Chains A and B, each alone.
Chain A
Amino acid sequence: MLKPMLISMLICLSVVNANHVLAQALPILSGVGGAFSAIDADGNAIESTEFSGNVVVLAFGYTNCADICPFTLGYLKRLYAGLSNEEQQRTRIVFVTIDPEYDTPGHLKGFIGHFNKDFIGLSGTQEQIDYIVSLYQAEYKPLSVLDIPTQNIRRVNPKLFTNNQELKDDKASLYSHTVTLYLLDKQGYTRSLEYTGTPVDEFIDKIRGLLNE
């Protein structure tokens, strides 16, 4: 009689203890993130509060990015695949475009769906996007501002340039942007900053920890 009780109690205590250790290891990062509105990949208005109750991994990027964004989404695809079905149902992978003019909801849906149909692409007005970027203290800059030559940059849709104006316009459609992956708990608090250099197993452990809180 005492044995099952002992085992149950041990499990409960170890969960309580693990949660406490995790909370200490992943404190809330004050002022990073918050409530926002956006447009999802189906063109519907969405509030960030709709993610409450789920652990969220949030990334910034744009579909015209041929280097870091596909690499990041490939990483997120592996990360997501490492979760069980039940864990996947309680986890949201959110990709926020920093180029809402080009990344219409439909365009975003096609791009994101290439990696995983469960992933959520968010677009919106420029004002909405800039607000989300500011909430997460992220950054993005058109390459035209940085005066970086773009004609040799590899891209999803290769381009041929016939004149300088096309080159100039092209520079305005490419961006440098924050590469951070934000890990949010079920209440929407940012609990950790990660990137594609984080070992997938390590990242999964953190997601599981937050799922079990």
Chain B
Amino acid sequence: MKSNILLSLMLLVAGVVNAASTQVEDRIAHATSLNAMVAMVMNWYGSLINTNQLIVFDRSQSTWNDYRALYPHAISHIEVMSTDLIKLNDDHEYQFTSQILIFYHDNEGVQQRQKLSERFIFYVPLLAKPTIKAISRDVLDDPVSTPEPRFDSAYFKARQFSYAWLAYLDGVSSMTQMINGDNWLNTARYSLKIGSLETTDKIASTLLKRNHYLATGGHLLRSIDVQQHADDTDRIMLTLIIEWQGENAGGQPVIAKIHQEIDIKISENNDWEVLAINEHHLLPDLKPWQGFLC
């Protein structure tokens, strides 16, 4: 009887500990799935906009060419009006729903609009690039009031790159192709400042040091800013604010608010090549009074 009580207590405590670990694992899977999937969605919509040939997207989605042919031609802008992400019963499947407004020009060059609701079913193996298993669509009534067309291919390119980069940082190394990593991962400089640690090295070496502090966890993009270089039209600076939650190499819970500046050169064939990354960790937003000065 007593040994049963003892066993029950041990199981109870083990259960609590295990539940907390599961939260971390869920966070990793969630963030990874989110970054990789959103990168693919941004790539999907960005590559539909064909009025700017100077912005290059990943073309590895030929399986869906028939479906993509259903979209209007000469798309100039796409506004993503709402999104929803649901984890399906299968552990590795997610449904990503989006409502979009497509701005395009008809054969006479007159601007037209089409509102769509689309459902993407993603198969998302942990730490691997997702694949689209199914897509369905509904054409919706054209909205009465329509926003001005604002979101062009440059908008989607910046987000496609950023989410793919975060997925890569999460450990989805197969996102290399989407960030054109073969051309810069071995040459770009990565500067990192975490507290009193300051280092500048190649990406792989810096990530190795970074992993001591941020070992297992997930990156969530909180804001993105894109600025063209003042003296070089082929250079852009991406500034990202990222939230990170997970564990360090010692298994201790860690949170971080990460500021990254990514200096990008647009190559002659319009690929994005990273020259340098500058990262430092900010004071996480925890308390409303933490910025007060007295």
Point out residues on A near B: beta carbons under 8 Å. Answer: 2-3, 6, 9-10, 13-14, 16-17, 20-21, 23-24, 27-36, 67-68, 135, 137, 139-141, 176-180, 189, 193, 195, 197
Given A6-B6, A27-B255, A20–B286 Cβ distance below 8 Å?
no
Whether A24 contacts B20 by the Cβ 8 Å rule is yes
14 A-B pairs within 8 Å (CB atoms) are namely A2-B6, A13-B9, A20-B17, A24-B23, A28-B254, A29-B256, A30-B194, A31-B280, A31-B283, A135-B195, A137-B283, A140-B293, A179-B294, A193-B283
Given A17-B17, A36-B196, A195-B287, A31–B292 Cβ distance below 8 Å?
no
B253 at the interface (CB under 8 A from A): yes
Greatest chain A CB density within 10 A among B2, B214, B294 is at B294
**Would you list which residues of chain B between 163 and 204 have a CB under 8 Å from chain A?**
193-197
Closest A residue to B24 using CB positions: A24
Whether B281 contacts A31 by the Cβ 8 Å rule is yes
Q: How far is the CB of A139 from the nearest CB of chain B, in Å?
A: 6
Closest B residue to A33 using CB positions: B195
Residues on B with beta carbons closer than 8 Å to the beta carbon of A35: 195-196
Give A33 to B281 CA distance when docked, in angstroms. Answer: 11
Whether B195 contacts A28 by the Cβ 8 Å rule is no
B252 at the interface (CB under 8 A from A): yes
Whether A193 contacts B287 by the Cβ 8 Å rule is yes
Residues on B with beta carbons closer than 8 Å to the beta carbon of A193: 283, 286-287, 290
Closest A residue to B193 using CB positions: A31
Residues on A with beta carbons closer than 8 Å to the beta carbon of B213: 30
Whether A28 contacts B294 by the Cβ 8 Å rule is no
Q: Of A3, A14, A20, A27, which one neighbours B254 at CB under 8 angstroms?
A: A27
Closest 3 CB pairs of A and B: A31-B281, A34-B196, A34-B195
Given A9-B9, A30-B254, A68–B196 Cβ distance below 8 Å?
no
Whether B294 contacts A176 by the Cβ 8 Å rule is yes
Closest A residue to B214 using CB positions: A30
Interface size on B, residues (CB 8 A): 39
Whether A31 contacts B290 by the Cβ 8 Å rule is no
Point out residues on B near A: beta carbons under 8 Å. Answer: 2-3, 5-6, 9-10, 13, 16-17, 20, 23, 193-197, 213-214, 244-245, 248, 252-257, 280-284, 286-287, 289-290, 292-294
Q: How many A-B residue pairs have CB under 8 A?
A: 106
Residues on A with beta carbons closer than 8 Å to the beta carbon of B10: 9, 13
Give A24 to B194 CA distance when docked, in angstroms. Answer: 21
Q: How far is the CB of B241 from the nearest CB of chain A, in Å?
A: 13
Closest A residue to B23 using CB positions: A24
Residues on A with beta carbons closer than 8 Å to the beta carbon of B286: 29, 193
Q: How far is the CB of A198 from the nearest CB of chain B, in Å?
A: 9
Residues on A with beta carbons closer than 8 Å to the beta carbon of B283: 29, 31-32, 137, 193
Give A68 to B287 CA distance when docked, in angstroms. Answer: 19
Q: How far is the CB of A128 from the nearest CB of chain B, in Å?
A: 13
Whether B284 contacts A29 by the Cβ 8 Å rule is yes
Whether A141 contacts B195 by the Cβ 8 Å rule is no
Whether A23 contacts B253 by the Cβ 8 Å rule is yes
Whether B253 contacts A6 by the Cβ 8 Å rule is no
Closest A residue to B2 using CB positions: A2
Whether B281 contacts A30 by the Cβ 8 Å rule is yes
Give A6 to B2 CA distance when docked, in angstroms. Answer: 8
Beyond the given A24-B253, A176-B294, please list 6 additional residue pairs across the A-B interface where CB-CB is below 8 A. Answer: A9-B9, A24-B23, A30-B195, A30-B244, A32-B284, A179-B294
Whether A179 contacts B293 by the Cβ 8 Å rule is yes
Closest A residue to B255 using CB positions: A27
Residues on A with beta carbons closer than 8 Å to the beta carbon of B194: 30-31, 34
Given A20-B16, A20-B20, A34-B197, A141–B293 Cβ distance below 8 Å?
yes
Given A9-B6, A28-B248, A195–B293 Cβ distance below 8 Å?
no
Whether A31 contacts B293 by the Cβ 8 Å rule is no
Q: How far is the CB of B192 from the nearest CB of chain A, in Å?
A: 10
Whether B248 contacts A176 by the Cβ 8 Å rule is no
Q: How far is the CB of A177 from the nearest CB of chain B, in Å?
A: 6
